[in-house]
A and B are shown apart, each in its own frame.
Chain A
Amino acid sequence: MATNGVDVAGAVRDTIYRAAIHLDAQKWDDWLELCDEKFHYAIKAFSPEINYDMIYLQGTRKEMQTLIKLLPKHNTDHSPLTRHTTVYTVDVAPDGKSAKAVSSFVIYQNMLDGTNSHIDAGESRLFLVGKYIDTLEVSDGKARFVDREVRLENRRLDKGSHWPL
């Protein structure tokens, strides 16, 4: 959708795909650069086991920045994550200044130091399946995240992860 000559939906898609590339590359600061100061992040899943809509992790931009800053102090499975993302819908607000987007993702874990690197390293395993439900603000032709809900289908999460998804 073009507003004042700007392809807002295109800008939204561009930001979502750039985010996926930055997250794949573990360029956390570059990912946060795509996020507005009022950005809020949450990983959620519905559990039929307990009939409860759960939040597995949430934080403001500042809180996510702190978690990322402290990552080197933590022991972590270093197997890189690779996202395949497809933007399904982009709904641009009438004023063209914000948009909501729904994207599908699958995240593969590319085994590096998994259970036995001699055997496992180099193998890719399906790790997570879900949707990104994003709200973005658009100005000067650029879209920035103000809210990202990572909606997982998984409740079996095995070793989990320290990294934003």
Chain B
Amino acid sequence: MPARNHAQWTAKPPLANDEWIDSRIYSDQEIFEQENERIFKKVWVPVCHESELSKPYDFRTMSIANEPIIVCRGPDNQVRAFLNVCPHRGMLIERRPSGSFLEGQPSGNPKRITCMFHAWQFDMKGNCVYVAREKEGYQDRLCKEEVGLRRLRCEVKFGGFVWVTLDDNPAVSLEDWAGKAFTCLQKSLDAEPLEVFHYHKAIINTNYKLWHDTNSEFYHDFMHYHNRVTGFNDAYFARKNEAFEHGHVVVGTFEVNYQNYEGFESRAALSFPHLPPNQWYMIDMFPGYNFNLRGSALRCDIVTPLGPDKVMIEFRGLGLKRDTPEERQTRINHHNSIWGPFGRNLHEDLIGVAGQGTTMRPGTESRRILHGRQENQTIHDENGMRHYYDEWGRWMNIMPNNPDQTWSERSTASAAVAAAE
């Protein structure tokens, strides 16, 4: 067909209605705000790794759906999460990204979480233990026992990641939420403690789902010279995308030939425990978290949506805590050669989603985004994205290919093919 006019361009594509998306779900402010309320405030989020707060009184801060979070390790070695909000006048309690409460702060004592504003202090369990001039100001009307922090459900699981949910009564436990998807890597990730060796962030003008889509589909490997020369063979094209309940997808493994990229090397000598040499698994967790194990290095992406057309992606790299300095250095090189901010692949991936973000800014007309590749659920099949948007539609009660309609089960591609026949 020659280039199309507007009516042709905006017409429904000749695909089943689970095989394409209306781009408004990537650009609409109202949908973005609903996503925060209906999804991000309900799901389990991997906010950091336990090695980032390895000692008692260590802490990390972050946010979920605009809500500031603090995660700290208590003297009992338990990791707990709270809203990072002072119950007095709403001050952000801890302003640093990380640190230790072992040292006192200008407004507070050692071993206390202290709000600098009026010196209210809390222990590692979130109990308020000090209100400055409590009796003078509140007499018997309010006491510190009534103004503890807002605790959040928090678990350390699946390789030592710290998972938090804002929902006091999540629909499913973390184990039920993620356990089946993690089965493929559980032995590798839980054999021994892991440690984070890499962190950087990107803030990109694009929708968070477009980043997750890129992690979920491998058709874009045509963009990566590295992946073409190290991967494209029969075993690569036989990799399966396996869908799990709750919208998660696992991309099956194969043996990568890293040495086919000039200057790169096999990763066999430093494979994660129980992982055959040079294997590559990827777990894509709804609604935007990714665990990616390439032989010797684990990568984790965590998205924080900042707007319909803006997302922060935090990138972590992990190795084994017991690594010798030489082993660690090799793992870091393996990780960074493709996944670092100056590596070969990540830069290309981010250019890709930034380009999508450019064409799908708020105010741009609705476009049809095709998710219709059918290849028996192998690596270039787009069943991972279709599975994701089925889940997304249910959570949002919105049809992904028509945001004006409420959710109903989408017809499957196979049904459409059968009907056409």
A binding-site residues for B, Cβ under 8 Å: 43, 45, 47-52, 54-58, 62-63, 66-67, 69-70, 73-77, 114-116, 155-162, 165
B239 to chain A, nearest CB (A): 23
The verdict on B297 contacting chain A, using a C-beta distance below 8 Å, is no
Evaluate contact between B351 and A77: CB separation under 8 angstroms.
yes
CB–CB B98/A74 < 8 A: no
Chain B residues near A63 (CB, 8 Å)?
263
State the CA gap A47–B355 with chains docked (Å): 29
Inter-chain contact B342/A162, CB cutoff 8 Å: yes
Chain A residues positioned under 8 Å from B348 (CB to CB):
74-76
Q: Which residue of A lies closest to B359 (CB)?
A: A116
Q: Are B342 and A155 in contact (CB under 8 A)?
A: no
Interface magnitude class on chain B:
35 or more
Which residues in window 72-116 of B have CB below 8 A to A? 96-99
- Option from A43, A67, A73, A162 in Cβ contact (under 8 Å) with B347: A162
The stretch of B144-152, B333-341, B384-392 in contact with A is B333-341
Which residues of the partner chain A approach B262 to less than 8 Å between Cβ atoms?
66, 69-70
Q: Closest CB-CB distance, B321 to chain A, in whole Å?
A: 12
Q: What residue in chain B is nearest A77 (Cβ atoms)? A: B351
How far, in Å, is B138 (CB) from chain A's closest CB? Answer: 37
* CA of A161 to CA of B316, assembled, Å: 18
CA distance A163 to B143 in the complex (A): 59
Task: Give Cα distance in the complex from A165 to B341, angstroms.
Answer: 12
| Residues of B with C-beta under 8 A to A69 | 262
Chain A residues whose C-beta falls within 8 Å of the C-beta of B261 in the assembled complex? 70
Chain B 329-357 interface residues, beta-carbon cutoff 8 Å to A: 329, 332-333, 336, 340-344, 346-348, 350-351, 354-355, 357
B199 to A56, Cβ gap below 8 A? no
Contacts of A157 in B (CB 8 A): 200-202, 341
Q: How far is the CA of A54 from the CA of B317 in the complex (A)?
A: 10
CB < 8 Å neighbour of A159 from B49, B226, B351: B351
B341 touches A56 (CB 8 A): yes
User: In the bound complex, how far is the Cα of B351 from the Cα of A114, in angstroms?
Assistant: 8
